[in-house]
Amino acid sequence: MYAALLPVVNEADLRVVPLKLTPDEARAKLKSGVPLLDGTALALDDASARQLLIRLARCLETVPHAADPASTRAVAARQIRDRLEEGRLEAAVLLQQVGAGDEAGVIAAAEAEHLEPALLWTLARHALRSALREWARPWLDLAGNVAWPRSDCLICGASALLGELQGNEAEKHLRCGQCGADWPIRRLQCVFCGNDDHRTLRYFYSEDQPSSGRVDVCERCHGYLKIITTFAPTLFEELLYQDLATVHLDYMAQAQGYMPGGKAQTG
């Protein structure tokens, strides 16, 4: 599924209305602890959003699913495409709902058209990445030069996808898989609870794949973060591939009782 969807997302060119913020206003917003897109009306072109969702749905109409020999997912994807082509779904509204975390709104739209809610949410979430990339693009340089010691993205508010040790100095950065933002973080600090006691911070890696990355864990909040080493920041187009390539580290961490975001955030 990812092999089919991600190239379409990466090549998409959604038309969005840029944020009306000056650099000083953006710095002030970040200094107050609020991500740049938080509380902002995210306006985008409905026609381009619809075309992207149609392309994504069409991709899944022909992707084989080993666990779904009857191809019910393909049928569900075709139904979503039909409703979009008929203009019975508001594409821009769907993306705005996903951006706001309004799962109930997406479910209601799906049920009104007798569609599979989970699949509609997945397609809209992937389409939203293209829009977030465009909103974030003018602010990426600013993001790399501000203090933001948190795990949620300073631009779009999504949880960091993974961490990177960048360059010859192995500076630690967090990366957002939704908009591509890149921001520096202290090496010896839990990004979830702020714990900086070296006695309760550790890391481990796969002995079978030692070069694939490592997992930083915190014994205080039991959160974990995957870390990869890279000379240059990973391109936006490759971030989700890196996440998939290190999924074995997720299994290792969760098998030991650690959770993304830690217990305090996951409940």
User: For a pLDDT cut of 90, what percent of the chain falls above it?
Assistant: 60
Taking CA atoms, 241 is separated from 236, 245, 257, in Å, by 10, 6, 25
DSSP states of 37-67: TTT----B-HHHHHHHHHHHHHHHTS---TT
> Does residue 265 register a pLDDT over 70?
no
Whether the model clears a pTM of 0.95, i.e. scores above it, the answer is no
Spatial distance between the Cα atoms of 93 and 12, rounded to a whole number of angstroms:
18
> Domains in the chain, ordered, with CATH?
2-137 (no CATH), 147-266 (3.90.1670.10)
Report which of 186, 184, 175, 261 is spatially closest to residue 217, judged by C-alpha positions: 261
Share of the chain above pLDDT 70, in %: 96
Cβ atoms of 84 and 50 within 8 Å: the answer is yes
Band of the pLDDT at 19, cuts 50, 70, 90?
confident
- Give the least confident one: 26-30, 62-66, 92-96: 62-66
Tell me what the pLDDT averaged over the chain comes to.
89
Question: Tokens 């019975």 — which residue?
Answer: 88
Q: What is the pLDDT of residue 70?
A: 53
Cα separation of 77 and 34, whole Å? 36
3-state secondary structure of 152: strand
Q: Looking at residue 266, what is its pLDDT?
A: 40
243-254: pLDDT as tens digits: 999 999 999 999
pLDDT band at 267 (very low <50, low <70, confident <90, very high): very low
pLDDT confidence bin for 67, thresholds 50/70/90: low
As a whole number of angstroms, the distance between CA 116 and CA 61 comes to 14
